Every structure is written in C-alpha cells, then in structure tokens.
Chain A
Amino acid sequence: MYAKKMILVAALLGCGALHSAWAGKNDDTLRIGFTRESDTLDVYFNATREGVVMAHLIWDALLWRNPKTGQYQPGLADEWAFIDNQTLEFKLKRGVKFHNGEKFDADDVVYTMNWISNPENGVKARRFVDWIKVAEKVDSNTVRIIAKKPFPAALEMLSNLLVIYPNEYHAEAGPDLFGRAPVGTGPYAVTDVDIGKKITFRANREYFGGSKGAPAIGNIVVSNFSDKNTLLAEVLTGRIDWMWNVPADQAEKLQNNPQLQVVNESTMRIGFVVMDAVGRSGDTPFTKRKVRQAVAHAINREAIVKHLVKGRSTVIHSACFPTQIGCEQSVRKYEYNPDKARRLLDEAGYPDGFRVDLHANRDRPYVEAILSDLQEVGIDANLVYIKWPALREKRRAGKVALQHTTWGSYSVNDVSAVTSVFFSDNPDDYAHDRQVRQWLAEGDNNTDLEVRKAAYSKALRRIAEQAYWVPTWTYNVNYVFSKDLNFTPDYDEYPRFYQSYWN
C-alpha cells in the first residue's frame, strides 16, 4: 500500500530525480529547506527563528547555553562574573580569528554591543538589545557590559542571541553589505548568498571549537520554498535533507518512509486564549470573571492535544512555559466541564450565551475545535482568521474581545519573556490588573532568584484565579530529515546543525 503511494507521489511530481535521491551524504552537503525567507543574514535585523539558526552557524556569542543542561558555557568568553547587579565582566578567549582573518579581541565586543544598542542604528530586535547601557574595554582581553537597570535575562541574551561582529569589517562594509556578505567567528562561513533563494555555507576548518565543537559536515545549503507542500515533495524525493514544522498528520504518515527520520520535540511555544477583562473592545461579557471561567471550563484541551496537536505537547494551566524560571505550576486549574460552564454563564447573566468574534492567526483546526467547544456551551463564536501583523495591530489597538494566539518567548527560559510581556503596562495587556503588574515588575527587576520566584508565583496565581487567560497547550515541532543524518533537536527550537554529522 505504501509503495503504491510512493510510486504515485513520484509520478505526480513527474520526477526522474529519484535516482539522484538522498545524495546529501555522498557530496557532504546538508540541504536544508525553510519556508520563511530571510531578507538579510544579519541577525540583529532578522530575528526570525530561521535567522537566529543561521546566525549560530556564522557567529558566536560570548556564552553558549547548553540545551541539555540549561547551563551557560564558554563561548567567545572563557570567564564571566557580575561585578555588581548591573555590570558583567568577561574574560575573552585568545587566538580566535574571524573568517576573513581579522583577529578577535575586546574591541570587537565593545564595538558590537555599543553599535547594536545605539537606537540610531535601527536594530530591529530591540527587545534583545534595549537593556544595554554601554560596553567598556578594560584591556585587550577583558570587557564590561553595563545594563541600564538590573536585567535578569542578560546572560540568556548574551548566550543565545547577541553575536559578535568583526569591528573593522563591519565598519567598512556597512550594515547592508554586511547582511549579504557576513563575516563571523562561527563554525561555518558563508560562501554564496542569493537572498530569498539560497545561502551556501562551508565548514570553518580553523574553528576554535569550544563549547559548540568542530563542525563535522563539510557544506550546508539553505534553500527557501514558499509552499510547504513543495518543500515536502523535495524531501520525499531526497533533494532536501532536512525540514521542520511538519504538521502532525503528515509527520505520522512520513514515519513509514524508510528513507526518512521523523523526530518530535517540545518547544517553548505556548498557546492561550486571551479575553478582554477590562472592556477595551467595548461592552463585552468577558469583563465578568464567571464568563471567563466558563470559557476555561468549556474548552476540552485534553482532547485537542490528544487528537490534533499530538506529539510532546501537554495541556498547561499557568500563563507560562513549565520550564521557564518562575513559572508557578500550582495555580487554579479549570477542568473540562461544559455543564459547569453553562451554569457559570447562567449565573453571570447569559443563560442563552452570546455572540462574539474569536480572532486567531494560526492553527486553524485547533481554533475550529475551540470554537466548536464554545458553541457547545452557548457561546456563538465567529472565527476571524487573519494574518499575524493584522491581529497584532488590532490587539494593540484594543479591538479584540477574544483571541487564541501563541508565544514562543524567543526561547528565553524565563517568565519575564512571556507573562511580563502580556500583563505589564503595555498595549498587549487586556487585564490591567495593578497587583499583577506590580508583582511582575518586582520579578523582572530583581536579580535574587527566590525573590523573583515568589513575586512571579503571586502574579501567576492571580492570573489563573481571575481567568484572564485560558492557557491551552505547549507546542511541538516535527523534524523530518534524511536517515543518513544524525541530528538531535532541542526543546529551545534552535536546530544546531554544527553538531550534526552523517551516520
């Protein structure tokens, strides 16, 4: 049966290419397929996940976070320490060279940190750099980075996202050329760039190794496909060795393919239903706590995870990803109970339910399942399915009474990267809860772990008690790749190709 289908697929694709299939190992070239294109390789101007993944190949940051242990390890810095709660000092690694031969030293770090944190340079990923006040050179091997105020996520940013430019080349090339012809210290050097189509990397044989280790695969080619099914066809015929974000149903079918491996891994992305508890969008039933609690009881999250989301996803009850520092788990839980939901609606003064628009920007089947559950208890929800930028704009303008959306925290393992983003004084906040805001600020601006945890715990428990959100589930990613490739995905959703090798 399966063989028949494969023949059909091959015929459909009109491909005489099967004979050249699975050639990645033979020519030592790992071919990666992405569906989101990058308009620049400069990670400060392209902080998409794909952009960060490629940046990890080209550059190094001062530190490296071990995805298995969560510990920070040396990157371009061998040692680091907090001088006070706003100042970090780094002892840099000696003898490191950029791809163009330029020597790495304290000037490069100072130049990079000061350049990216200067608002005039227009770095797009402001969230990652805004905390930096200034970087200072102590000697050619030592630098200090000073934060504007105590910033607990500093090491997280410095280990994952804030890569180091070569100061001379960057100043000479300017940001545009640098984005098209980047130079770094990383395990792979860029050899050819066709923006939006293809980027070719070659292993940096002089790489210093360090925590990332020496690259094993000789060449990497990243190609862009506008349509996921086209990419899947390329994977099925062996012209692409690796793809990700394969929907659960497709991944299940691909498991039978002897040429491919399918691996599922959890991610830090969570889904949640946000209700307008303050009436920003007008006179809405969600200003009543019982209505919000009714919504929480109405959605059968267990069934949706079991049958639709699948993989390593789990139902969550707290407004954060379970491993994030400060993510309190012992909060009020709302079990699936449609009768209770109807009763709560009745008590809140809506015995016949009400009509509302449910906004969403992704995962239509999941949202349709939520919609059906809401209709079951009498909430006549009408699906408004729009693109992410449109939803974000509408949400920030206070026009959305009910929405299901997701947040990946940029893989930052800290509650400040999610709960504080949505419940602090900003246009994304639909709770306007002064107490919650106060507790979150306390957690965000303190470096004492116990104080932070206690503050976040209070905030998260109140959020659940008030049912401002219905946290739904964690997301997972299906990776599909050639059986010749040894690749291990990590929960932080940053594929580390520099650690992959051929079987």
Chain B
Amino acid sequence: MGGFTSHAGAPGKSFRGFLSHHGLVVSGGILGLIFIGAVFAPLLSAYDPYTQDLANRHIPPVWYERGTWEHFLGTDALGRDYWTRLLYGARASLFIGFVSATIAGLLGVALGVSAGYFGGRVDAAITFLINLRLSLPVILVALAVVALFSGTFLVIVVLLGCLLWDRYAVVTRTLTKQLKEKEFIASSVALGSSRTGIIAKDILPNLANHLIVVWTLEIAHAILLEAALSFLGLGVQPPTPSWGLMVSEGKDLLFFEGWLIAIPGCALFLLVLSINLVGDGIRDVTAPENLT
C-alpha cells in the first residue's frame, strides 16, 4: 500500500512485465481463446445453436465409441450441436460477466470514493449502505428478483450489477481515505485544483490496479451467479444457450452421459480460473512496487 504515485506507471515497462509473468500469459491466452470463440462463434461452427435434430440426440463426443467428427463435442437432448451451444453460451457468460461487473464497478467506485474523500455524514450514509448490502444474501435476493421479473438478459445484468458493488466500495473507500492524507493531494489542493479534478486525476489513477483485481473477481463472481441462476431455471431462459443451463439440462443423465455436464462445467471452470489469474497477474505487473 506504500507506493502511491502522483502519476501512472511507464507503459513500456509494464508491457514487458506482462510477457514475463507466466501465469498472466497462460491465463490471458485461455481467456483470449474463449473470447475469440464467443465473438467468432458463427465462423467456428457450421451449425445453428437453436436448430434441433431429434433423430440425432445425445451423440457422445468424438472420443467415445459412438462419437463422430461431425459433432465432435456431441449433441444435446434435442440434437443440437454441443460445440456450437458452448460457443454461443460463452457469449452469454462473458457478456453478463463483463457488463454486470462494470455496472457494479461504476456504482461501487462512485460510492466508495465519495465516502472516502468527503468523509463525515457522506461516509456514514455510504457505510450504512455497504453494511446493508453485505447483510443481504446475494443468491437469495437474485432468486427472488428473477422470480418476480423473469430471467431476461437485461434483468440479470442489471440485477447482478446492483448486487455486486460492495467490494468495490469497501476497497475504494479505504484506499481513498489513505490517499487523501498524502502530500501530493495536499499539493494539488494548495495549487487550487477542484475536488472533481483531484478525484479524477490524482485519486482514480492510483486506485486503478486495485480496481482491476476487484473487477476481475466480480466478473468471475457474476459469471458463476448467472450459471447458478440458469441451473436453477431462473437465469437465461431456454432455448438461449448458457453454460449453467447446459449443466442443468445434463444433470438428469449425470450417471450415464457424464460428458453433458463435464463439458460446460470444464468451460466454466477454465473461464473463471483464467479471469481470476488474469486479475492477479495484472495486479502483480502493475503494482507500483514492481514498476520502480
């Protein structure tokens, strides 16, 4: 926490740092592949994720006896190509993860920085809000809201955005409080900078590397929550592909066609793991102590 600076670190140096951090390179690679898969899904698969083929249900992946290269990850209960569903499902996961973590970030940072910078009554009010939010069990609130308003994409994104801001607020509030006491902030005040200017130019850049870590944690958190909601039948609604939904649809055949669950399960595991590792890596590389 000691290394706050009055300006952002040198970009060239940090880029070299990125490449020399093995965890970051590997996890970034996996995340990149998933991202490319999601974006270029129509090019990477010859099938439509919604087209059913009832005569070809539950074809196992290619490494099983009955598997074929035509559907190398097999087909689901309605004969839809599993690889295609997986690619399009990545879109749902990534979109919900990124957008809701970002909404939560905007909310949490605004609240946390205000509380830390202004202190006093503002701080008391925002601390109360944070405590209130921390006392609410996320999954329960999410279940109730989705049951009320149905599980459309918009509802889930906004809901998760409104539920996952607490960590941002706690971190930024504490850090802003510490930063406020630093000499460079005092100099800015003495030079006549406005409050907005100080927050935008002096405080936020110094929070950036911490925020990246929280952001990645929350992306992973949101992705898992979406999967959990979809698994419970309250998240993304069929026939839209979603990894949580795929696990849910496969669970009836858990004892017989384990791959139906294993494939989307592994995909979820890899995505969440890679996002977390990327967050860790970026923090390592951009931490001020590593830049000097």
Which residues of A pack against B, CB within 8 Å?
A: 1, 5, 8-9, 12, 228-229, 232-233, 236, 247, 249-250, 253, 303-304, 306-308, 364-365, 368-369, 371-372, 375, 382-385
Contact = CB atoms under 8 A, between A and B. Distances in A.
Interface string B252-270: 1111101000000000000
Contacts of A383: 237-239
B194 to A, nearest CB: 50
Nearest to B53: A307
Interface in B36-57: 50-52, 54-55, 57
A384 B54 contact: no
Contacts of B52: 368-369, 372
B255 A9 contact: yes
B144 interface: no
14 contacts: A8-B258, A9-B255, A229-B252, A249-B77, A249-B252, A303-B54, A308-B54, A308-B57, A365-B77, A368-B78, A372-B50, A372-B51, A372-B239, A385-B233
Contacts of A372: 50-52, 78, 239
B150 interface: yes
Given A371-B239, A385-B237, A250 B252 contact: yes
Give the 10 A-B residue pairs with the shortest CB-CB distance, closest first: A307-B54, A253-B256, A372-B52, A365-B77, A9-B255, A303-B54, A368-B239, A247-B252, A368-B238, A229-B254
A365 B78 contact: yes
A365 to B, nearest CB: 5
B58 interface: yes
A233 B251 CA distance: 13
B253 A369 contact: no
A236 B55 contact: no
B15 to A, nearest CB: 46
A385 B146 CA distance: 13
Given A303-B54, A368-B78, A372-B52, A385 B252 contact: no
A307 B57 contact: yes
Nearest to B234: A385
A250 B239 contact: no
A12 B239 CA distance: 30
A228 B252 contact: yes
Interface of B: 50-52, 54-55, 57-58, 65, 77-79, 150, 233, 237-239, 249, 251-256, 258
Contacts of B251: 229
A470 B255 CA distance: 35
Contacts of A9: 255
A233 B255 contact: yes
Max chain A Cβ within 10 angstroms of own Cβ: one of B78, B254, B255: B255
A369 B78 contact: yes
Contacts of B233: 385
B26 to A, nearest CB: 30
Nearest to B51: A372
Nearest to A253: B256
Interface centre among B55, B150, B256 (most CB of A within 10 A): B256
A249 B58 contact: yes
A249 B55 CA distance: 14
Nearest to B237: A383
A8 B57 CA distance: 23
B255 A304 contact: no
Nearest to B77: A365
A376 to B, nearest CB: 10
A455 B258 CA distance: 53
B238 A369 contact: no
Given A368-B239, A375-B50, 18 more contacts: A1-B65, A5-B256, A9-B255, A12-B255, A233-B255, A250-B256, A253-B255, A304-B54, A306-B54, A307-B79, A308-B57, A308-B77, A365-B77, A365-B249, A371-B239, A384-B150, A385-B233, A385-B237
Contacts of A5: 255-256
A477 to B, nearest CB: 16
A231 to B, nearest CB: 12
A215 to B, nearest CB: 33
B48 to A, nearest CB: 11
A358 to B, nearest CB: 11
A371 B78 CA distance: 12
Nearest to A232: B255
A385 B54 contact: no
Nearest to A384: B150
B178 to A, nearest CB: 49
Contacts of A384: 150, 237
Given A307-B54, A308-B54, A385 B253 contact: no
